């Protein structure tokens, strides 16, 4: 099915199942421990061996010798894989990292060897016996020091232009009546998901099956095939449940490659999981940024010039952090500049992490908007509303498909009690605590991609959906079941959903905030075909038919769906593809975040007291799941604002705090009451589902709202994240 014109009335609009706050259908499996994650397929893979990765002990240089004598003689050792015996390995199509060092070492903890043994403990013990000799080289590990050598990023499908210029930015900024020019920085951050990267690999001749933690199975079979030099048709990936991804499990990483190589070397299935330090220094992360923002405005608050320049670092050939994405679209202003620069750093690869680009970019932009509002003596909410735009500011005439940013800001301000905020910082106090409120706008693109599904109707009237879509804790199983139930007119208890197997039809996968809207659209397309098959089998006109309560009805005639499959199940498969509507309309999601904090007047410790998010993301397929996505994103935003920072040892070239003891993330005590308001809406330009994603919108702007609240409480502006008490104390 091709979607190339705005959607009209269709079966989803009945909203009997879709749009309802539905419990997750896989919830009982997860809460009882019976949902199988990558490392747990013990019935399918009997008598496995175990792999253990030894990471490089230097950040850059060459391996001159590996003495394997003691390791090979250790109890239980079956094989040791290094670059010398692994065979030729390529890099995938998405990440630039080489997954096995030798002789060159590209970054700290790059895999040097994989030890395979009868037990995990034997593999780990033997790995410690490997004696690796290195010749070190100097490396670049400091973005500030490398900033001057940064270059425009190479163009690519996930990289915006290195520079955009609309109007006369420099002239307009110079002539502006009121202006700010500030620099902000965000640190390296880790995904820190609960489930580690893990794989079980099994070869059957030249066919490879891996039970793994991959968000995008279509990318995964492609990349693993390229890396190992085998046809992707020979690769099957199974990823039925994923314990958190946030972009950090997008496609093939070292666990998949290492397990595959180890299984081939040992001649039997191999289980391998990354130890937590390797998740920080071996996989991917959100890279550090330095951002300069300039805003010029008239005295009445009208923005006349807005400029956003950003620097980040990566391995050679890696992507930039596209921090300027939201600045290009969020606010009006006739004269505009964005500029990206990328430095070569010899740290582990920087890549996608929840709302890549927008999350980091708006940590800076939304503080700058607050600073500008203060300089103009305007309320920060009013300043944002005044500079709203209903068309793409870079392409006048290109309308937003739907945009309710103003409604989000006004609704949020009303519900949060924004009128009680004192515009003068440091005034409101409760005992030992200084109280402040902060606000930030939110914006995240709403991409949608082709997605396929297969649906089956059996003789009992039950519907089975098959698609390689993944569920990374987001509720994919449930919204797909809701879609099929709505389309076929059955209860959700009559739908079985099978996900996460690359042998199923190719879906959008989970990532980029496209998963929900795309995967359900593929199910919609397949169900439309199944409706046709049912109607044809029973002699109904499908254009006039109603599907409800497990029956198909036209006028006075009705039949059970099950009757269509009494002589054998009916199967339908289709792919939803798209025309040019995304070029005709700017398709984005919007929101507003409001935060209240308390800052101790003596210790300057920070406590978040209240949070509110107002989100506008088209039709909400499942309000309960959507709320969960948003409050999880808000929690990550608090972490980004107040505690999350991977600290670089600039001499050795690695992230020092590479575990969950040293890398701090929010815990229950850090997160107070969170409220989410979902504005009701549909976007007919997206798909027949009229929905958009919401999982990344919820994090964008949160950190800035927290930082702005801290400023309102204390009068101290911190522009270098995370906002910690030592930075406040230094400014007292």
Sheet holding 104-105, edge to edge: 104-105, 61-67, 131-136
Q: Rounded CA gap, 143 and 686, in Å? A: 39
Is residue 696 annotated as part of the catalytic site, yes or no? yes
At a CB cut-off of 8 Å and minimum separation 6, what does 648 contact?
Answer: 141, 142, 188, 347, 654, 655, 656
52: helix, strand or coil? strand
**Nearest alpha-carbon partner for 455 in 500, 492, 487:** 487
- Is the preceding omega at residue 498 within 30 degrees of 0, hence cis? no
Per-residue tokens: 563: 């009757």
Q: Rounded CA gap, 65 and 62, in Å? A: 9
- Phi and psi at 77, nearest 5°, equal -70, 130
Q: Is 43 buried (19+), middle (13-18) or exposed (0-12) by CB count in 10 A?
A: exposed
- Phi and psi at 131, nearest 5°, equal -110, 110
**Nearest alpha-carbon partner for 687 in 18, 20, 1, 22:** 1
Q: Rounded CA gap, 284 and 447, in Å? A: 23
Sheet holding 546-548, edge to edge: 546-548, 551-554, 557-560
375: helix, strand or coil? helix
Please provide the DSSP assignment of 95-109 as one string.
----SS-SSEE-STT
**Nearest alpha-carbon partner for 574 in 540, 624, 531, 543:** 531
Query: Radius of gyration over alpha carbons of the chain, in Å?
Result: 27
- Phi and psi at 152, nearest 5°, equal -60, 140
Place of tokens 């099950």: 562
Under DSSP, the state recorded for 40 is G
What is the per-residue burial (b if ≥16 Cβ within 10 Å, else e) of 363-398? Answer: bbbbbbbbbbbbebebbbbebbbbbbbeebbeeeee
End-to-end Cα distance, the chain: 62
CA–centroid distance for 674 within its chain? 21
At a CB cut-off of 8 Å and minimum separation 6, what does 293 contact?
Answer: 180, 181, 182, 183, 184, 307, 308, 309, 327, 364, 365, 368
3-state SS string for 277-328:
HHHHHCCCEECCEEEEEEEEECCCCCEEEEEEEEEEEECCCCCCCCCCCCCC
C-beta of residue 494 within 8 angstroms of C-beta of residue 463: yes
Which pairs from 657-665 meet CB under 8 Å and 24+ separation? 657/280, 658/276, 658/277, 658/279, 658/280, 658/281, 659/276, 659/277, 659/280, 660/192, 660/276, 663/190, 663/192, 663/280, 664/639, 665/192, 665/639
Q: How many CA atoms lie within 13 A of 233 on its CB side?
A: 0
- Phi and psi at 460, nearest 5°, equal -95, 0
Please provide the DSSP assignment of 541-590 as one string.
-TTT-EEETTEEEETTEEEEGGGGGTTS-EEEEEEEEE-SHHHHSB-EEE
Residue 44 Cα distances to 48, 213, 236, angstroms = 10, 17, 14
Tell me which of 195, 573, 596, 696 is the catalytic residue: 696
User: What are the residue numbers of the active site?
Assistant: 696
């Amino acid at each position: 099915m091709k979607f190339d014109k705005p959607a009209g009335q269709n079966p989803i609009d009945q909203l009997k199942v879709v749009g309802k706050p539905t419990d997750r259908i896989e919830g009982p499996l997860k809460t009882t421990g019976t949902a199988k994650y990558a490392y747990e397929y013990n019935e399918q893979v009997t008598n496995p061996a175990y792999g253990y990765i030894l990471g490089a002990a230097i950040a850059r240089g060459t391996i001159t010798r590996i003495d394997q004598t003691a390791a090979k003689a250790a109890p239980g050792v079956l094989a040791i894989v290094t670059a010398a015996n692994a065979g030729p390995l390529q890099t995938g199509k998405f990440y630039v990292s080489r997954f096995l060092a030798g002789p060159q070492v590209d970054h700290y903890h790059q895999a040097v060897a994989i030890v395979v043994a009868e037990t995990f403990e034997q593999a780990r013990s033997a790995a410690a016996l490997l004696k690796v000799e290195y010749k070190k080289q100097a490396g670049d590990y400091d973005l500030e020091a490398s900033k001057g050598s940064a270059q425009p990023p190479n163009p690519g499908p996930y990289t915006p232009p290195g520079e955009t210029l609309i109007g006369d930015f420099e002239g307009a900024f110079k002539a502006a009546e009121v202006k700010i020019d500030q620099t902000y920085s965000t640190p390296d951050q880790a995904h820190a998901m609960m489930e580690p990267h893990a794989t079980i690999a099994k070869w059957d001749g030249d066919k490879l099956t891996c039970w793994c933690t991959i968000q995008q199975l279509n990318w995964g079979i492609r990349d693993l095939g390229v890396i190992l030099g085998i046809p992707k048709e020979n690769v099957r990936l199974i990823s039925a449940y994923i314990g958190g991804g946030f972009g950090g499990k997008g496609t093939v990483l070292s666990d998949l490659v290492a397990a595959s190589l180890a299984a081939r070397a040992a001649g039997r299935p191999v289980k391998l999981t990354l130890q937590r330090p390797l998740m920080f220094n071996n996989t991917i992360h959100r890279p550090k940024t330095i951002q300069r923002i300039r805003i010029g405005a008239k005295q009445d608050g009208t923005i006349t010039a807005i400029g956003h320049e950003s620097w980040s670092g990566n391995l050679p050939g890696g992507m930039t952090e596209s921090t300027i994405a939201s600045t290009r679209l969020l606010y009006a202003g006739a004269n505009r500049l964005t500029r990206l620069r990328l430095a070569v750093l010899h740290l582990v690869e920087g890549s996608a992490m929840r709302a890549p680009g927008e999350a980091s970019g708006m940590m800076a932009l939304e503080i700058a908007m607050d600073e500008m509002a203060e300089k103009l003596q305007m309320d920060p909410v009013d300043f944002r509303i005044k500079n709203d735009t209903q068309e793409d500011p870079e392409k006048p005439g290109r309308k937003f498909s739907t945009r309710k940013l103003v409604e989000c800001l006004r609704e949020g301000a009303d519900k949060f009690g924004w009128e009680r905020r004192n515009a003068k910082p440091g005034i409101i106090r409760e005992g030992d605590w200084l109280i402040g409120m902060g606000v930030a706008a939110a914006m995240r693109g709403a991409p949608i991609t082709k997605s396929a599904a297969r649906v089956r109707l059996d003789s009992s009237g039950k519907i089975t959906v098959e698609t390689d879509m993944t569920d990374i804790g987001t509720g994919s199983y449930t919204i797909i079941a809701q879609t099929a139930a709505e389309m076929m007119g059955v209860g959700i208890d009559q739908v079985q959903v099978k996900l996460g197997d690359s042998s199923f039809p190719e879906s959008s996968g989970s990532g980029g905030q496209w998963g929900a809207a795309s995967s359900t659209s593929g199910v919609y397309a397949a169900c439309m075909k199944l409706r046709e098959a049912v109607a044809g089998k029973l002699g109904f006109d499908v254009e006039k038919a109603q599907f409800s309560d497990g029956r198909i009805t036209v006028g006075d005639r009705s039949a059970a769906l099950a009757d269509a499959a009494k002589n054998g199940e009916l199967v339908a498969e289709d792919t939803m593809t798209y025309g040019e509507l995304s070029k005709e309309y700017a398709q984005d999601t919007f929101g507003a975040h409001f935060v209240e904090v308390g800052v101790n007047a003596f210790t300057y410790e920070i406590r978040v007291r209240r949070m509110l998010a107002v989100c506008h993301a088209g039709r909400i397929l499942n309000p309960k799941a959507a709320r969960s996505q948003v409050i999880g994103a808000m929690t990550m935003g608090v972490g980004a604002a107040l505690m999350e920072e991977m600290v670089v040892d600039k001499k050795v070239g690695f992230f020092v705090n590479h575990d969950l003891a040293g890398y701090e993330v929010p815990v229950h005590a850090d997160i107070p009451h969170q409220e989410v308001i979902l504005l009701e809406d549909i976007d007919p330009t997206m798909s027949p589902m009229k929905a958009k994603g919401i999982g990344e919108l919820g994090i964008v702007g949160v950190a800035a709202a927290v930082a702005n609240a801290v400023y309102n409480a204390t009068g101290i502006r911190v522009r270098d994240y995370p906002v910690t008490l030592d930075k406040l104390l230094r400014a007292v």
